[in-house]
């Protein structure tokens, strides 16, 4: 299965829109910044149930539905079980994991003998992972996941840590029955990050099967055959018209897929967007449209990788801003911050609330709030009085334990008559909360 064919099997998940992202920041970006979080990622539909370290403890899951897994203390393997509806091909996709970590994925059963091994496959750190194997019939089976290439393990008090890369970070391995306690920010001179999490999706394709054709009520034609107006443009050799027709269908299909939650229709929207780019490969707006559609699957590393390809080929400032967001979704926080900074240096007016929020979280999630402080102070020199820059700077100061400096900044923001009322109210709430904490 090719990388682009894989998207046919991806589930369509709605991401937060820009307004919701900013509201989330304004309401919750306080002490929660001291732990690993992802403000802007959609959440997998289900979660493993511990213990599931052996086949007889496997967590039941469904084909096509994402499940969130966590590498816990004393985990050997995470096991998941499901039953193939008949002979066909089972595909396991693992995504949304820390870029420095590798995994090994294997399978048992899916034939008369449920204990028979179907082998295993190792992932490459930071790369999309996908593995397919045959199912013999209407049989149950197991998929297992375990970390691969762990360099070192260690413990400190009630905490356990593992190292996936020589330059860190250490990842916490929590106990399944209790949350991590008193987790240090560094261990053996390397940063400490949250648990190793991943999203697992298992899909099934019947033997000789294809996706069902659209019903008569759907304004869609088979993707193999051109649409009537598409065919006319092709016969005329009018590539500009052809691209316009394909992108129009891509947007219409995506809108309908949002309304009906039809994942196959969304896959056809992606194919139309790819077709538009193929017709006019140097058109940056077409590349942007394709990238935005792929980024509607923010938990899917393969989709984000395809979006990144389009954005790098678009080569315009707007595309670089979207690329920064894409890198953030991939958990490549340093790279995302660098792209945000490059864009803001060229056009400071793009420092909108959602951009400031995501850039600030890049430094928090990369455990570099001090570097973030320096960047936001420089941004304020170019954009004096910017409410989002001042708010995020205060939160970065607070994250470093500079409570007095953070309080002074939010008080100034609250007292500034030229600041919009919602920002002043938010600054006032921060000041009240931090003052109460100081008194305690």
Question: Which domains occur in the chain, in start order?
Answer: 1-42+316-440 (1.25.40.10), 43-206 (2.60.120.380)
Q: Give, rounded to a whole angstrom, the gap between the first and last alpha carbons of the chain.
A: 59
The sheet carrying 186-187 orders its strands as: 152-156, 159-163, 170-172, 190-193, 186-187
Nearest to 73 by CA among 147, 2, 142: 147
Report residue 374 as tokens: 């320096």
pLDDT, position 78: 93
| pLDDT range class, residue 209, cuts 50, 70, 90 | low
CA distances to 124, 149, 159, 196, 334 from 103, in Å: 8, 8, 22, 10, 23
Report the share of the chain in percent with pLDDT over 70.
85
pLDDT, position 210: 45
pLDDT, average across residues 6-11: 34
pLDDT, position 374: 93
Higher-confidence residue of 7 and 184: namely: 184
pLDDT, position 226: 66
Q: Is the pLDDT of residue 111 over 50?
A: yes
pLDDT, position 218: 36
Higher-confidence residue of 75 and 253: namely: 253
Q: For residue 162, how many other CB atoms are within 10 A of its CB?
A: 19
pLDDT, position 231: 77
Spatial separation of the C-alpha atoms in residues 190 and 167, rounded to whole Å: 7
pLDDT, average across residues 43-58: 75
Give bridge partners of residue 78 from the DSSP assignment. 145
pLDDT, average across residues 407-431: 88
Spatial separation of the C-alpha atoms in residues 335 and 174, rounded to whole Å: 28
pLDDT, position 328: 87
Higher-confidence residue of 255 and 264: namely: 255
Q: Is the pLDDT of residue 208 over 70?
A: no
């Amino acid at each position: 299965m090719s990388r682009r064919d894989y998207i046919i099997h991806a589930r369509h998940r709605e991401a937060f829109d820009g307004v919701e992202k900013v509201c989330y920041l304004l309401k919750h970006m306080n002490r929660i910044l001291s732990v690993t979080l992802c403000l802007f990622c959609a959440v997998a539909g289900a979660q493993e149930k511990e213990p599931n370290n052996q086949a007889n403890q496997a967590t039941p899951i469904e084909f096509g539905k994402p499940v969130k897994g966590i590498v816990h203390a004393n985990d050997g393997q995470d096991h998941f079980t499901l039953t193939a509806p008949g002979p066909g091909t089972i595909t396991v996709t693992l995504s949304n994991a820390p870029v420095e970590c590798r995994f090994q994925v294997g399978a048992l059963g899916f034939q008369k003998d449920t204990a028979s091994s179907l082998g295993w496959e190792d992932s490459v750190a930071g790369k999309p992972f996908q593995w397919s194997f045959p199912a013999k019939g209407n049989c149950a089976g197991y998929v297992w996941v375990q970390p691969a290439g762990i360099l070192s393990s260690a413990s400190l008090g009630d905490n356990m840590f593992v190292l996936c890369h020589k330059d860190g970070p250490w990842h916490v391995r929590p106990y399944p029955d209790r949350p991590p306690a008193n987790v240090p920010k560094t261990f053996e001179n390397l940063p400490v990050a949250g648990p190793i999490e991943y999203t697992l999706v298992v899909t099934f394709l019947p033997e000789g099967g294809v996706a069902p054709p659209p019903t008569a009520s759907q304004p869609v034609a088979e993707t193999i055959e051109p649409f009537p107006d598409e065919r006319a443009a092709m016969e005329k050799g009018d590539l500009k018209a052809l691209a316009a027709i394909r992108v129009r269908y891509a947007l219409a299909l995506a809108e309908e897929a949002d309304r009906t939650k039809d994942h196959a229709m969304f896959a056809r929207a992606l194919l139309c967007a790819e077709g538009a780019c193929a017709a006019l490969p140097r058109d940056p707006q077409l590349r942007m449209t394709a990238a935005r559609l792929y980024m509607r699957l923010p938990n899917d590393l393969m989709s984000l990788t395809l979006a990144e390809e389009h954005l790098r080929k678009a080569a315009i400032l707007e595309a670089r801003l979207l690329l920064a967001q894409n890198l953030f979704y991939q958990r490549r926080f340093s790279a995302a911050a660098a792209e945000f900074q490059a864009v803001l240096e060229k056009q400071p007016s793009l420092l909108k609330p959602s951009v400031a929020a995501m850039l600030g979280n890049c430094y928090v999630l990369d455990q570099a709030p001090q570097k973030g402080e320096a960047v936001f102070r420089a941004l304020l020199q170019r954009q004096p009085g910017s409410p989002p820059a001042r708010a995020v700077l205060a939160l970065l100061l607070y994250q470093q334990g500079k409570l007095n400096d953070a309080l002074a900044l939010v008080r100034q923001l609250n007292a500034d008559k030229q600041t919009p009322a919602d920002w002043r109210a938010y600054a006032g709430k921060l000041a009240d909360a931090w003052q109460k904490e100081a008194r305690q």
